[in-house]
Chains A and B, each alone.
Chain A
Amino acid sequence: MLKVENLSVSYGAIAAVKKVDIEVREGELVTLLGANGAGKTTTLLAIAGVLRNSGKILFRDREISHWSPEKVAHAGIAMVPETRDVFADLTVLENLRLGAFTRRKDTQGCEKDLAGMFELFPILEERRTQPAGTLSGGEQQQLVIARALMSRPQLLLLDEPSMGLAPAIVDKIFDYIARLKQTGLTILLVEQNARKALTCADRAYVLALGEVAASGSAREISESSDLAALYLGG
């Protein structure tokens, strides 16, 4: 479904991602692991059309390397950024409706999906008229995942969904991710909490200093003692 070939991204003179190759197949949950500054988020932002890059990004055999973020979204890729980026002044409901911007003419489908989101994330229904900026970190994380799902994406890019959340909330978020995987949704997950990510991933890539240091099935990566010591926090 997604093929990233020879991807390089620089911030001025600093090369953040160097010749990275990644593949995500239909229905898979692939995780990108690595320490801070390894280039994980940069890779996701390049796929989402936010960062200029060299190399090739193919989505369903179409080259999207130089597409704008809006065009990438219309193609079926939804991004959940690590900074969450809820629209703080907008209500929860408005945030969710905006998530369905690419299919806004399908009003019936959107309403149905909205009900589905409230079923998956009941707290959002309770908070539906509240400005999103007043939600707790965990609630905001649920909101941005639900907002991304409202577009009925073919590929979901999840960036550090556990960042800054209490352990109990992290478990809950990973429980949601596992449920999304069960629905057949293809997911590319960037996560610092490697152990957690590997429990639900099919395959993993380990990035180090902007390059792919290792790749393999989630089991292979988690069982590799060298990798664990070097990149996965022991």
Chain B
Amino acid sequence: MTGQIVQFGIDALSLGSLYALMALGLVIVYGILKLVNFAYGELVMVTGYTLFLLNGSPLPWLVMALVAVIIAILTGISTELVAFKPVREKSVTAVLITSFAFSTLLQNFVLLFISPRARQVPLPDIFTQTVELAGVIVPLRNLLTIACAFIMLGLFSWALKKTVLGIALRAAASQFRMARMLGVPANLIITTAFAISGLFAGVVGILWLGRIGSVVPGIGLEPLLVAFIATVIGGMRSLQGAVVGGFLLAFVDVSLNYLLPQHLLQFRDAFTFSFVILFLLMKPDGLIPGPASGERT
């Protein structure tokens, strides 16, 4: 019994850590622009393909991973420059279409110049090793995911509270116009938000690839969907909400994995979405609604 609880706890925490990071990456941009970046999943894809392209290079794996994350950050910033900035002040529809277009462009680039088939990415042994914990065999990558997420969440939370840029980001997320009237530069804030989004997507990409081992052009769809659902559950305007939403969604997913009989497991997503619908009927603004501001940038 204790073993099962430990197993469940680690599974839920590990998946929740991943979901929380995914959700944070999405909500940081939503908080500022009040727009969902539909090209977010492609940042995960870019991370995967960078790792794939670096395969066989003499670089140590950690450096490869670092380069992949940096490329994700740069792609995040490019998303803002190419898809958002030129149409930011136009209609919401225009921005949604350009972000979809940028996402499709990136996917098609990979389809055309690399391959539509799955490609193995280089991964160190740590992603396949296991350890015994309270009598349970636990994949080391799950513990690595938890540690990584907690370090990132801790650092992010510290930076948001203790640095001027962090405070400015929080302020801009609640009253963007007012923040600008205090001298906070709009472009700096928006670019920083996209860069942070890229950083989270990059780290999520590495940890996600550590679970599945290979990259395909459509790899970003699941992280985007998970991040979107988690932020809706947690509250679209709240950073804490995104984290809580990520952990809650993972808790539901893992619980269903444990509780559903074998023949119903293939319908797990249907159960998860039913839960999400029921939840939203009861709490349409999410768990932590965040500051009331519907104003677009």
Residues in A lying within 8 Å of B, measured CB to CB: 48-50, 68-70, 72-74, 78-79, 81, 85-90, 94-95, 97-99, 101-102, 104, 133, 147, 151
Chain A residue nearest in CB terms to B182:
A101
Closest Cβ of chain B to A103, distance in Å, is 9
Q: Is the CB of A70 within 8 A of B175?
A: no
B295: min CB distance to chain A, Å: 10
Q: Which residue among B168, B178, B182 has the maximum number of chain A CB atoms within 10 Å of its CB?
A: B182
Known A-B contacts A88-B291, A89-B291; A97 and B182 likewise in contact (beta carbons under 8 Å): no
Question: Interface stretch among B45-53, B113-121, B183-191?
Answer: B183-191
Distance in angstroms between the alpha carbons of A98 and B167 in the assembled complex: 7
Say yes or no: is B138 at the interface (Cβ < 8 Å to chain A): no
B175 touches A87 (CB 8 A): yes
- List the B side residues contacting A102 at CB < 8 Å: 182-183
Contact A85 B178 (CB under 8 A): yes
- Set of chain B residues within 8 Å of A85, measured between Cβ atoms: 175, 177-178
Q: Would you call B183 and A87 a contact (CB within 8 A)? A: no
Is A101 in contact with B291, judged by CB distance below 8 angstroms? no
B291 touches A133 (CB 8 A): yes
Contact sample, A vs B, 25 pairs, CB 8 Å cutoff: A50-B177, A50-B181, A69-B177, A69-B180, A70-B181, A70-B184, A70-B185, A70-B186, A72-B181, A73-B181, A74-B183, A78-B182, A79-B181, A85-B177, A87-B170, A87-B178, A88-B174, A89-B170, A89-B174, A89-B290, A90-B174, A94-B170, A94-B171, A98-B168, A151-B183
**When each residue 278-295 of chain B gets 1 if its CB lies under 8 Å from chain A and 0 otherwise, what string results?**
000000000000110000
**Cross-interface CB contact of A87 among B174, B185, B186, cutoff 8 Å:** B174
Q: How far is the CB of B267 from chain A (nearest CB, A)?
A: 39
Picked from A72, A90, A151, the residue with its CB within 8 Å of the CB of B171 is A90
6 new A-B contacts, CB < 8 A, other than A69-B177, A73-B180, A102-B183, are: A49-B181, A69-B180, A69-B181, A87-B179, A99-B182, A101-B182
Contact B181 A98 (CB under 8 A): no
B157-170 to A contact mask, C-beta < 8 Å, 1/0: 00000001001101
Interface residue SS majority, chain B: helix
Chain B positions 175 through 209: 1 when the CB is less than 8 Å from some CB of chain A, otherwise 0: 10111111111100000000000000000000000
- A147 to B182, Cβ gap below 8 A? yes
B174 touches A98 (CB 8 A): no
- A48: chain B residues at CB < 8 Å are 181
- Flag if A70 contacts B183 (CB, 8 Å): yes
Chain B residues in 8 Å Cβ range of A97: 164, 167
**Which of A73, A74, A86, A98 is packed against the most chain B CB atoms within 10 Å?**
A98
Q: For A104, list chain B residues within 8 Å (CB).
A: 164
Closest Cβ neighbor of B175 among chain A residues: A85
**Across-interface contacts of B179 in A (CB, < 8 A):** 87, 98
Most chain A Cβ neighbours within 10 Å, of B168, B170, B178: B178
Q: Given known contacts A70-B185, A133-B291, is B178 in contact with A81 (CB within 8 Å)? A: yes
Complex interface: chain B residues within 8 A of A50 (CB)? 177, 180-181
CB-CB under 8 A from A90, the residues of chain B are 167, 170-171, 174
Residues on A with beta carbons closer than 8 Å to the beta carbon of B180: 50, 68-70, 73
State the CA gap A79–B183 with chains docked (Å): 11
Q: How far is the CB of B32 from chain A (nearest CB, A)?
A: 13
Give, as a whole number of angstroms, the nearest-CB distance from A132 to chain B.
Answer: 10
Min distance, Cβ B291 to any Cβ of chain A, angstroms? 5
Interface centre among A72, A89, A102 (most CB of B within 10 A): A89
User: Which A residues are CB-close (under 8 A) to B174?
Assistant: 87-90
Partner of A98, one of B177, B182, B186: B182
Residues of A within 8 A of B167 (CB): 90, 94, 97-98
In the complex, residue of chain A having the shortest beta-carbon distance to the beta carbon of B237: A89
Q: Which of these, A101, A133, A151, contacts B168 with CB under 8 Å?
A: A101
Alpha-carbon gap, A147 to B180, bound state (A): 13
Q: Indicate the member of B177, B183, B186 with the most A CB atoms within 10 Å.
A: B183
A81 x B182 contact (CB < 8 A): no
Distance from A43 Cβ to chain B, minimum over Cβ atoms (Å): 15
Interfacial chain B residues near A73, Cβ < 8 Å: 180-183
CB of B244 to closest CB in A, whole Å: 15
B186: chain A residues at CB < 8 Å are 68, 70
Minimum distance in angstroms from A61 CB to a CB of chain B: 21
Q: Shortest CB–CB separation between residue A228 and chain B, in angstroms?
A: 33
For B291, what are the chain A residues with a Cβ–Cβ distance below 8 Å? 87-89, 133
A49 CA to B180 CA, complexed, in Å: 10
